[in-house]
Amino acid sequence: MYHVKKATFTLLGIILVLTLAACGGSSESSSTSEGDGGSSGVQEMTIKISHVVAENTPKHQAALAMAKNIEENSDGKVKVQVYPNGQLFDDKTEVKNLQANNVQFIIPDMSKMVGMNPAFNVPSLPFMFSSNEAAYSFWDGEKGQEIFQSLESEGIIGLRMWPNGPKQITNTVRPIKAPEDLQGLKIRVQGGQVLASLFKTLDAGPLQLPFGQLYTALEQGTVDGQVNTFSNISTKKLGDVQKYITTNWGAARVDYAMLTNKEFWEGLNEETKKIVQAGIDHGTEVARSKAEQLNQEAFKKIKERGKMDIYELSAEERSVFQEALQPVYDEFREEIGADVIKAAKESSAE
Ligand code: LMR
């Protein structure tokens, strides 16, 4: 009998400990409960950052820098896990999971956010930004911030623009030197109506596919080519399945929106939010200071591997593309907003 009672008490004790641990565990989890925002002291939690590209890219390097900064400044109370290569969520699932607070930060290519606001097509408008700095100036400015804020009705908070850079063209069929060389080619695009229209204007066939399916689609010939930054081309070894690369094209860019969700953000108390915000700022600085360098290093690697035939467009050849793509502006002026396009153009002129 004594043994039965003792066993019962022991069992109850275990259940109690487990229950308390589970309650305490909520402060360990990435989702902070409502009301936490009012308490003081740094909240203990684990934050997840998810993205789809490889490790040696501006996005991943910046996410790692952000994670380190937050962990250090919170004395390890806030742990940050960074998941590259679509390990956690891919292009198709990351936004929904952000909204559900299953992940606290994602950094999608803006062209994948156009469903929520067509103004995220801006980096795909032909030759819109003449430099990384022009793109920062627009996204940090009034119109760019308005576009980020428009996500709030979807439970998403747009924080900062992180750059990657201008797109180069790769394909298996022929060197691309002029608009007519794209005729009839099937080109994989990231997303957005503008990028699709850009290729239709050049008589090519755009096909939207998630980044995780890109290599296989090129390998199997589902598409003939694609457009991307040097860092994405090199880290995913696209040169193994693509013969030609045209550089100095840059008609469109890969730029990212650093996003969090409202539930997570509003659950942070002031002290914790300050630390997380400083981490985001640090990550933004790293992304912006390293993007160009990482892309140039990636270009060097592509050359060293020697698998691709490289054709560099001259300024003159580039301007032929520029002229051919002008109609895209007329097609999207109304949908994106003449005011948005004007502000973006002014950023490039600064
Ligand atoms: C792509 O899908 O090619 C890119 O948007 C991937 C990325 O996030 O850079």
pLDDT tens track for 37-70: 556 799 999 999 999 999 999 999 999 999 999 9
- Which pLDDT tens digits describe the chain residue by residue (350 residues)? 334 344 443 444 444 333 333 333 333 345 444 445 556 799 999 999 999 999 999 999 999 999 999 999 999 999 999 999 999 999 999 999 999 999 999 999 999 999 999 999 999 999 999 999 999 999 999 999 999 999 999 999 999 999 999 999 999 999 999 999 999 999 999 999 999 999 999 999 999 999 999 999 999 999 999 999 999 999 999 999 999 999 999 999 999 999 999 999 999 999 999 999 999 999 999 999 999 999 999 999 999 999 999 999 999 999 999 999 999 999 999 999 999 999 999 998 87
Does the Cβ of 231 fall within 6 Å of ligand 1?
no
Number of domains composing the chain: 2
Residue 244 lies in a domain: yes
Q: Is residue 31 part of a domain?
A: no
Same domain, 157 and 82: yes
DSSP class of 320: H
User: Is residue 32 in contact with ligand 1, taking CB distance under 6 Å?
Assistant: no
Dihedral over Cα of 141, 283, 232, 49: its sign: negative
3-state helix, strand, coil in the chain (%, to 5): 55, 15, 30
Across all residues in the chain, what is the average pLDDT? 91
Those residues with Cβ within 8 angstroms of residue 213's Cβ, 6 or more apart along the chain or in another chain: none
Q: How far is the CA of 211 from the centre of ligand 1 (A)?
A: 6
Handedness of CA 176, 178, 181, 187 (dihedral sign): positive
| Encoded tokens for 265 | 């953000």
Report the candidate in 212, 282, 264 with the shortest Cα–Cα distance to residue 98.
Answer: 264
Ligand 1: atom nearest CA of 57 is: 9
Same domain flag for 262 and 335:
no
Same domain for 103 and 245, yes or no, is: no
Amino acid of residue 296: Q
Domain containing 330 equals 168-253+305-349
Phi-psi domain of 229 (left: phi exceeds 0; alpha: psi -120 through 50; beta: other)? beta
CATH number reported for the structural domain that contains residue 325 in this entry: 3.40.190.170
Residue type, 244: Y
The whole-number pLDDT of residue 37 equals 53
Q: Is residue 217 part of a domain?
A: yes
Q: Is the CB of 176 under 6 A from ligand 1?
A: no
Tell me, yes or no, whether 18 lies in a domain.
no
Residue 70 alpha carbon to ligand 1 centre in Å: 25
**Are both 132 and 183 inside the same structural domain?**
no
Whether 136 maps to a domain, the answer reads yes
* Within a domain: 276: yes
Q: Which of 91, 113, 211, 215 to mutate to test the pocket of ligand 1 (most atoms within 8 A of CB)?
A: 211
What pTM does this model have?
A: 0.89
Residue with the nearest Cα to atom 8 of ligand 1?
A: 109
